[in-house]
Structure 1
Amino acid sequence: MTTFVQLHLLTAYPPANLNRDDTGRPKTARLGNVDRLRVSSQALKRAWRTSPAFKAALEGHLGERTQRLGEEIEGHLLKRGVAEAAARKAARDVADVFGKVKGEGDKYPTRIEQLVFVSAEERADALALAERIAAGESIDLSKTPLLRSVDGAVDIGMFGRMLADDPDFNREAAVQVAHAVTTHRAVVEDDYYTAIDDLKTPAEDAGAGFVGEAGFGAGTFYLYLCIDRDLLTRNLGGDAELARRGLAALIHAATTVGPKGKQASFASRALASYGLVEVSNGAPHTLAAAFLKPVGGEDVLAGSIAAFEATRNGFRAAYDLPESRRDKNPEGWRGNDAAWPVYNTLTGEGSLKRLIAYATR
């Protein structure tokens, strides 16, 4: 049976523009027939996997999404004293294994046409193979293992990759991330701002040196993640301890890191105010239905938590789902380090540390 780890988060953001659309305004969605603010799963995942804490926790076990593998290989060979023509040819040959390389007459002849997720192991193998080719060794790249279907790249194991020309080396994502939406009706507002020329004298006109307009919005967002823990372990070659470390790093990032859009203008850094984790073999399910009726009132965060927990209890009763025990720890732990499936900053219940311990036990 498959073990799913499901994470439900509620995070309150002040005025912000975390994730912009093609016009530069905050992304939106309609849910329950009213407008909500939205943050895309793509923006969330990139913010998490590039965050300093995530990188520190999984150092040496992360990949890179890039078109520039060939450029890196070429630069590596040039530093080793390889002639420019030989370095470029070897770089193009090896990069082409990961995806179609741009034409020789292109401005960037060693870049790959598409972004590709490359693990640390694959990158090291690519550099070593390029060195052999540049040294004059005749190598049949079609028969030389370079791409891997499993390795220690936690982010690739989590978020997957697709290689159109080599589907045997695709990786199915072990982590599913929903778009975060506000639990309540929300509108995009406009910030009219001006910039003053510091060197303008009082004798000149009183006008601003620049006038601009920017969209923003504020709200409490619901976010749902579903992690297939068994698939994550398989993607990492059966390394259960690395999968556990990755899961802990992901939960920490999801609760503490958001997209960086317009941070200099809004300083909209926020921590999740409420988190609940479920670990089970049953069918995973979002609880976004809790917010089909937009939360109202003055205390939106408290109202959102109440609506979420009521809906969760309703689903559990209707489908006879197991409860994440909050009255007794299944492992019999005691004290401040005991595992606990929920934390609530309004009531002081639980903590992020204890929630991670519950999810990774």
Structure 2
Amino acid sequence: MTLYLDLNALQSVPAANLNRDDLGSPKQVRYGDALRIRVSSQSWKRPIRHGVEKDLGEKAARTRLVPVKVQQALERAGWPTELAAFAGSQVAVSAGKKGIGLETAGHTSVLLFLPEAAVEELAAVCAEYREALEAAMEKAASAKKGTKPSQTLPPNTIEEILKRRTASISLLGRMLAELPDANVDGAAQVAHAFTTHAAEPQRDYFTAVDDWLGESETGSGHLDTAEFAAGVFYRYGTVNVTDLLKNLEGDVKAARTVLSSFAEHFLMSLPQAKKNSTAPHTLPDLAYLAVREHRPLSLAAAFETPVTADRQGGFSKPSRQALDTYTVNINRLTGDRNRPFHGHTVIDPQETPKGLGTAHESYYTLVEAAVEAAINAADNTVAGVQQ
């Protein structure tokens, strides 16, 4: 049996541009025959990942600059620049059976996702094989142009370092076609957030004053237009707790810590695009967490019919009501049998949702209760299988 922790949130965001398309406009999606503002899962996962890594004190990097970082580490150790650059390139060339492609300026042809500490480990391997690297560089200098470089560093050693995991890699996964054994099936899934109601981008015409214009001169130093949007967003994510335990080699304590950190940062984080000019630092009005067996369940369909503002204006309260109504109905269809836990916390203590489980005072008490239920259920399942 597989256990999931589902995370649902409703969050009102004022004028902002959290996630832009190729033209600089807020991303959009048409759903329920209405245009909505959308925020991609990638843009929200990044601050979540950084928060988890900060909590756990083990940073990972998604980058094409591994050869460059190795070169810099070797230069700090006193290596000549040319030899350090060659050694950095050999890290990519010597990875696995076929190596990883290199492009200009020492960048790898693909993004790597690895612990930041791996750079020092790779530099240490280069130091161990310095004589071989010096000989290989001399040989490469006299080789014909276009000759494929040979592997100088031990491929298995380089691959083992690149395969190392952190908690965030175990949580979010890693895919690398060049090193299939380094692939990790991520335990977390995050959906694109979208407004619960119809919404479209708006244009902002702005100017910047030139402080040194003379008194007789008029006009602005700069003028332009930018797009922004506002709305109440439905956000959803889920963690396969069973897979998380597996990725962490059955370490229940580590799984509890990682899951708690992910859940808290899912609720507390916000993409940082345009933050200096919009400062849209809100928090969810409602959070609903559920532990489910066999499969996760998104409640996005609660907003397939766009929410309309109430008589006083505003989409937050009718969005919360729509989510509760839909959840009551979906609970009737699914029953309680495969849902060991569900609970919520809401901005208005006078509201008493009927379908969102036990009420909690804060995000933190809700997360604590949900994580404990998820870990206990998953741990019992694993123990039962082992017996």
TM-score w.r.t. the length of structure 1 is 0.87
Q: Does 1:116 align with 2:119?
A: no
Secondary structure of residue in 1 paired with 2:13? strand
Q: Which amino acid aligns with 2:40?
A: S
CA distance in 2, matches of 1:85, 1:133: 16
1:81 to 78, 86, 90: 78
How many angstroms apart in 2 are the aligned matches of 1:126 and 1:269?
Answer: 40
Structure 1, residues 113-172: CA drift from partner, whole Å, max 9, x if none? 111101246444323212212254896623436336975511111211111111122111
The aligned counterpart of 2:24 is 24
Asked whether the equivalents of residues 341 and 354 of structure 1 are also in contact (C-alpha less than 8 Å), the reply is no
Q: 1:47-76 CA deviation, whole Å, 9 max, x = no partner? A: 22224xx3331102x311011111111111
Cα distance, 1:359 vs. partner? 2.3
Q: Deviations over 1:178-215 (max 9, x none)?
A: 000000111111111111222223322x3222211011
**In structure 2, what is the Cα distance between the partners aligned to 1:117 and 1:315?**
38
* One-letter amino acid of the counterpart of residue 112, structure 1: T
Q: Do the aligned partners of 1:150 and 1:234 also contact (CA within 8 Å) in 2?
A: no
State the distance in 1 between where 2:286 and 2:225 align.
Answer: 33
Match of 1:313 in 2: 328
Q: Relative to 1, partners in 2 of residues 1:7 and 1:76: Cα closer, same or farther, differing over 3 Å?
A: same
Aligned to 1:68: 65
Structure 2 residue aligned with 1:176: 189
Q: Which moved more, 1:117-126 or 1:240-249?
A: 117-126
In the alignment, the residues of structure 1 paired with residue 264 and residue 112 of structure 2 have an alpha-carbon distance, to the nearest angstrom, of 26
**Equivalents in 1 of 2:153, 2:48: separation in Å?**
38
Larger CA deviation: 207-216 vs 32-41: 207-216
Alignment of 1:260-271 (within 5 A): 260-271=272-283
Structure 2: which amino acid aligns with 1:28?
Q
Q: Specify which of 38, 53, 56 is matched with residue 55 of structure 1.
A: 53
* Inter-partner Cα distance in structure 2 for 1:282 and 1:207: 64
Cα gap change, 1:183 to 1:322, in 2 (>3 Å)? farther
Structure 2 vs 1, CA of residues 149 and 231 (structure 1 numbering), >3 Å: closer, same or farther? farther
For residues 69 and 131 of structure 2, what CA distance do their matches in structure 1 show? Answer: 17
3-state DSSP class of the match of 2:29? strand
Change (3 A) 1:10 1:90: same
Q: State the match for 1:221 in structure 2.
A: 233
Instruction: Note the C-alpha offset of 1:319.
Output: 2.1
> Which residue in the other structure is 2:354 paired with?
none
- Counterpart amino acid of residue 222 in structure 2: F
Kept after mapping to 2: 8 A contact 1:122/1:147: no
Match of 2:221 in 1: 209
Structure 1 distance, partners of 2:213, 2:157, is 67
Unmatched 5+ residue regions in structure 2? 136-151, 351-358, 373-387
1:354 aligns to 2:365 (yes or no): yes
Mapped contact 1:150–1:236 kept (Cα < 8 A)? no
TM-superposed deviation, 1:324: 6.3
Q: What is the aligned partner in structure 2 of residue 337 from structure 1?
A: none
Counterpart in the other structure of 1:187: 200
Work out the CA distance in 1 between the residues paired with 2:273 and 2:48: 14
- The answer as to whether partners of 1:194 and 1:212 remain within 8 angstroms in 2 is yes
Post-superposition shift, 1:177?
0.5
- 1:133 matches 2:129: yes
Out of 298, 302, 321, the residue aligned to residue 290 of structure 1 is: 302
Preserved CA contact (<8 Å) 1:63 1:118:
yes
| Equivalent position of 1:44 in the other structure | 44
Instruction: Judge which range, 35-44 or 110-119, deviates more.
Output: 110-119
Q: Secondary structure at the match of 2:159?
A: coil
AA aligned to 1:174 is A
**For residues 25 and 364 of structure 2, what CA distance do their matches in structure 1 show?**
35
SS in 2 for 1:144: helix
- Output the CA distance in 2 between the equivalents of 1:155 and 1:100: 23
8 Å CA contact 1:35, 1:185 repeated in 2: yes
For residues 300 and 278 of structure 1, the distance between their equivalents in structure 2, rounded to whole angstroms, comes to: 24
Contact 1:92–1:101 at 8 Å: present in 2 too?
no
Most deviating of 236-245 and 226-235: 236-245
| Secondary structure class of the residue paired with 1:72 | helix
Partner of 1:147: helix, strand, or coil?
Answer: helix
3-state secondary structure, aligned to 1:341: strand
Unaligned regions of 5+ residues in structure 1, if any?
A: 331-339
Could you give the per-residue CA deviations for residues 91-124 of structure 1, whole angstroms, max 9, x where no partner exists? 2112332862425xx3x1x321111101246444
Judging by fraction of residues, say which structure has more helix: 2
Q: CA deviation at 1:3?
A: 0.9
Give me the whole-angstrom Cα distance separating, in 2, the residues matched to 1:47 and 1:26. 18
